[in-house]
């Protein structure tokens, strides 16, 4: 981690102090961690990464004098978002990267400051994490691997913003790991240049001096409350912490030594790729030394206000899922600039209603008016319509059926009542059957 910070020091306003570096390293473990794709010693280039070169060019081009115009990309295409979601599901099946994709979305939106109104200065879900200045923050160690995983999806679906893709990947990872359905919306605008990235230090630290106070300081700044802090902490049911990246956890345990993915690290739960309420149960019991409990984790059962929710979630997974889904959706929207303002939903029924109405209309179209406004004439009786299979009725049989039809009160101008119609159908079926037997 020290090497990594040193390699990116030129990107920061000033060289951080040793204590700042240790705090930044500890912050890596504060949000869901990587399942094993990032490797130790990864260095970042001091120039904008390949994830952001095109966007950076657009952001700087044409600026003159002292005026800098902030522009944003158009809203994402709903069809491409749906297709991208399916591609993300395939990546999850083969790379076991649920934790790091959740962390990617969280860290992009978690820089939001409710006290700053101007976009993008307020931070939040705006795609800024793709730029090296923010990617180089100590709390974002290892997230280059997440970008490498989803960059091919961005290339495949250029009609999606990075801000939307990060949040789509995060929500999909939760759901595919067995977690709740997240009520997401899309249409987030992207920032366009590295200069628009938020400053370092807005993400939570895993080992602060007073954990509960620190959690409130960070999450209250985002506009979240105690219930949402505890619910979001439950996402640590997924993932692992690695001492060579964050300074926390063991190098490996009986739960992580064989993967899946890159082996090693220490997980919060035994089944660290399954989203459930095990995190709260395991912290409460603390019976297994191979399971990680950070100071901020322990604070959930030590702080009186946090403990109310932590106890509840340990006992009631359904309540945890409900509160987590709402908190995750709220976090994913923080600081975002939506186009359209109400966002785009991929899962509601509103967009399907016109299609259903059209299907009904196509199935039973209104008859064309060929009578110059006069009342439409009944369709002439055609006995062949009631023939058995492909055998055509003879003219003699047609005459007999018509005579029967008219004898019961039917005619081309007068439809039979429902009971008469049923009777005539029975007669027709019987006669057609006899005709078929005689013909064979």
CA dist 125 and 334 (Å) reads 6
- Angle subtended at Cα 119 by Cα 113 and Cα 122, rounded to the nearest 5 degrees: 15
| Angstrom distance (rounded) from CA 49 to CA 146 | 14
Q: Which residue is it, tokens 């069809």?
A: 79
Cβ neighbours, 10 Å, residue 13:
8
Measured distance between the N- and C-terminal CA atoms of the chain, rounded to whole angstroms: 89
In the chain, what are the helix, strand and coil shares in percent, each to the nearest 5?
50, 5, 45
Coil, strand, or helix at residue 22?
helix
147/44 Cα distance (integer angstroms): 13
Q: How far is CA 282 from the centre of its chain?
A: 27
Question: Does residue 137 carry a catalytic annotation?
Answer: no
Per-residue tokens: 140? 């974002």
Task: Give the integer Cα–Cα distance in Å for 385 and 97.
Answer: 61
In 3D space, the residue among 126, 94, 88, 92 whose CA is nearest the CA of residue 107 turns out to be 126
Look up residue 83 and give its two tokens: 């297709």
**What residues contact residue 22 under an 8 Å CB cut-off, 6+ apart?**
247
* Under 8 Å between Cβ of 223 and 110: no
Structure tokens at 129: 């994490």
| Active-site residue, from 98, 107, 236, 328 | 107
Of 143, 153, 191, nearest to 44 (Cα)? 143
CB neighbourhood size of 321 (10 A): 21
Supply angle C-alpha 335, 298, 166, rounded to 5: 30
Residues whose CB falls within 8 Å of the CB of residue 187, separated by 6 or more in sequence, listed in order: 75, 76, 164, 338, 339, 340, 343, 344
Catalytic residues: 107
């Amino acid at each position: 981690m020290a090497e990594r910070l040193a390699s990116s020091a030129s990107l920061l306003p000033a060289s951080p102090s040793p204590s700042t570096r240790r705090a930044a390293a500890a912050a890596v473990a504060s949000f869901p961690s990587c399942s094993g794709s990032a490797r130790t010693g990864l260095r970042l280039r001091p120039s904008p990464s390949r994830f952001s070169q095109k966007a950076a060019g657009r952001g700087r081009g044409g600026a003159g004098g002292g005026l800098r115009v902030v522009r944003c990309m158009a809203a994402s295409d709903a069809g491409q978002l749906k297709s991208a979601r399916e591609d993300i599901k395939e990546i999850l099946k083969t790379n076991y990267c649920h934790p790091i994709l959740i962390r990617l979305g969280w860290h992009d939106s978690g820089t939001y400051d409710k006290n700053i109104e101007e976009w993008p200065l307020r931070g939040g879900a705006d795609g800024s994490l793709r730029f090296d200045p923010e990617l180089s923050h100590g709390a974002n160690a290892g997230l280059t691997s997440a970008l490498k995983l989803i960059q091919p999806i961005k290339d495949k679906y250029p009609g999606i913003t990075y801000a939307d893709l990060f949040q789509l990947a995060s929500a999909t990872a939760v759901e595919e790991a067995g977690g709740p359905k997240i009520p997401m919306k899309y249409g987030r605008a992207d920032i366009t240049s590295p200069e628009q990235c938020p400053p370092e230090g807005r993400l939570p630290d895993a080992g602060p001096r007073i954990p509960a106070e620190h959690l409130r300081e960070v999450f209250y700044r985002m506009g979240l409350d105690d219930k949402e802090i505890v619910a979001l902490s439950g996402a640590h049911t997924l993932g692992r912490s690695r001492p060579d990246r964050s300074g926390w956890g063991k190098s490996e345990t009986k739960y992580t030594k064989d993967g899946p993915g890159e082996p090693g690290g220490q997980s919060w739960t035994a089944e660290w790729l399954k989203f459930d309420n095990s995190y709260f149960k395991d912290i409460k019991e603390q019976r297994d030394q191979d399971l990680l409990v950070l100071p901020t984790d322990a604070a959930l059962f030590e702080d009186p206000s946090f403990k109310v929710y932590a106890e509840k979630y340990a006992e009631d997974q359904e309540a945890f899922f409900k509160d987590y889904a709402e908190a995750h959706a709220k976090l994913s929207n923080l600081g975002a600039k939506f186009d359209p303002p109400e966002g785009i939903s991929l899962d509601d029924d509103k967009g399907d209603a016109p299609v259903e109405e059209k299907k009904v209309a196509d199935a039973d179209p209104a008859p064309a008016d060929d009578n110059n406004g006069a009342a439409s004439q009944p369709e002439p009786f055609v006995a062949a319509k009631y023939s058995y299979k492909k055998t055509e009725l003879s003219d003699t049989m047609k005459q007999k059926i018509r005579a029967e039809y008219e004898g019961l009160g039917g005619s081309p101008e007068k439809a039979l009542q429902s009971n008469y119609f049923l009777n005539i159908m029975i007669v027709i079926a019987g006669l057609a059957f006899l005709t078929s037997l005689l013909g064979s």
